[in-house]
Amino acid sequence: MKKVMLVFGTRPEAIKMCPLVNELKKRETIETIVCVTGQHRQMLDQVLDTFHVVPDYDLSIMKSGQTLFDITTGILESIKMVLEEVKPDVCLVHGDTSTTFVTALASFYLQIPVGHVEAGLRTYNIYSPYPEEFNRQAVGIISKFNFAPTELAKKHLLDEGKNPQSIYVTGNTVIDAMQHTVVEDYHHPELDWVGDGRMIFITAHRRENLGEPMHNMFRAIRRVLNEHPDVKAIYPIHMNPEVRKAADEELGDCDQIHIIEPIEVFDCHNFEARCHLCLTDSGGIQEECPSYGKPVLVMRDTTERPEGVEAGTLKLVGTSEDTIYEWFTKLLDDEKEYAKMAHAANPYGDGHACERIADILEEQLNK
């Protein structure tokens, strides 16, 4: 039996790795070991519960208001023992978080092969998204197996000189996670509150947007809602205290917006599928909303998901108050502009990424 260890720590990594955990557990030639860093706590546990994944190891490193130094040193110091004890044949990491980077670094120090799920996404601006672009590129130097979600991601890796034999285009595992979440017969008290009107779905959390950019976003949203009393917004807020403070200051007393606790991924997908449009700086939501044909205003200066922009469902609007205001207003008032963006597109896979990754690992590890 070959040992495959999956390490993840935040909500989005868990959403995209749990379906892979469950697929690998079906494979007879593989022993699947799960280690969570606990970079997130409540938001991670919510996903583990949803997918019924029980970690074998939990590093529990989260502390409130953690810095990049806290996360990096916390994981590096505690994961060494786990890697030495398990001695996996391959260590799988996902995407671009500090958990991803530090786990890959620790594996490299112990000369354990790394597999990178969601490899090859790039903006080539090391400060945007920050620190994620660095994390991705750094893992790309170390990884032996690169599971690229799209042909474009593969191209980035080839252009960087990676061995073509190490790159596999698999689709994104988030599309696998989405196969069974959206249901016809779905009810939620927040959707009852919205009723038949237009619902705007909002999320925001990026580190580079904390401070003034986030205040700009919220002020723009507030202005537009004030001018459209028929529109309501639902905003499941990230647990970062800095995000909560900014949202409370700018949106706290606005009756048209419900700021609620993080929702389960099942609810999140159903909300996305039923919204009129979405405003976000999230990475994962840029992959999900196009499938539902929901326009997304991406409140960031760069995106590593240009496939959705090309497909026409995502619009990169930056973080200036006036630009967000202008685009949000345009999509609410101009039916033609809305229709241009509101069509289903799915550039990120066919829902079979986990099977492909498991097949490749079985084949490669048993050679």
Residue ranges that bind ligand UDP, judged by CB under 6 A: 11-12, 15, 203, 205, 236, 262-263, 265, 268-269, 282-285, 288
Least distance in angstroms from the C-beta of 232 to ligand UD1: 24
Closer to ligand UD1 by Cβ: residue 97 or 143: 97
Does residue 94 carry a catalytic annotation? no
Does residue 287 carry a catalytic annotation? no
Rounded Cα gap, residues 124 and 105, in angstroms: 21
> Active site residue: 156, 222, 238, 305, which one?
238
CB distance 170 to 148 below 8 Å: yes
98 touches ligand UD1 by CB under 6 A: yes
Cα distances (Å, whole numbers) of residue 261 to 30, 49, 199, 239, 243:
37, 16, 17, 8, 12
Does residue 207 carry a catalytic annotation? yes
Which of ligand UD1, ligand UDP, none sits in contact with 285, Cβ below 5 to 8 A by type? ligand UDP
**∠121-126-129 over CA atoms, to 5°?**
65
What is residue 325's three-state secondary structure? helix
299's CB contacts (< 8 A; 6+ apart) are 204, 209, 213, 217, 279, 280, 281, 317, 318, 319, 324
Least distance in angstroms from the C-beta of 21 to ligand UD1: 18
Site for ligand UD1 in 18-47 (CB under 6 A): 39-44
Does residue 228 carry a catalytic annotation? no
Hey, what are 162's tokens? 């990676």
Does residue 343 carry a catalytic annotation? no
Burial of 251 (C-beta count, 10 Å sphere; 0-12/13-18/19+): buried
Which of ligand UDP, ligand UD1, none sits in contact with 268, Cβ below 5 to 8 A by type? ligand UDP
**Given 32, 37, 97, 319, the residue binding ligand UD1 (CB under 6 A):** 97
12 touches ligand UD1 by CB under 6 A: yes
Rounded Cα gap, residues 353 and 334, in angstroms: 37
Closer to ligand UD1 by Cβ: residue 68 or 344: 68
Hey, what are 104's tokens? 């890959």
Binding site for ligand UD1 (CB under 6 A): 10-12, 39-44, 64-66, 68, 71, 96-98, 131-132, 205, 207, 239-241, 283
Active site residues: 96, 118, 132, 205, 207, 238
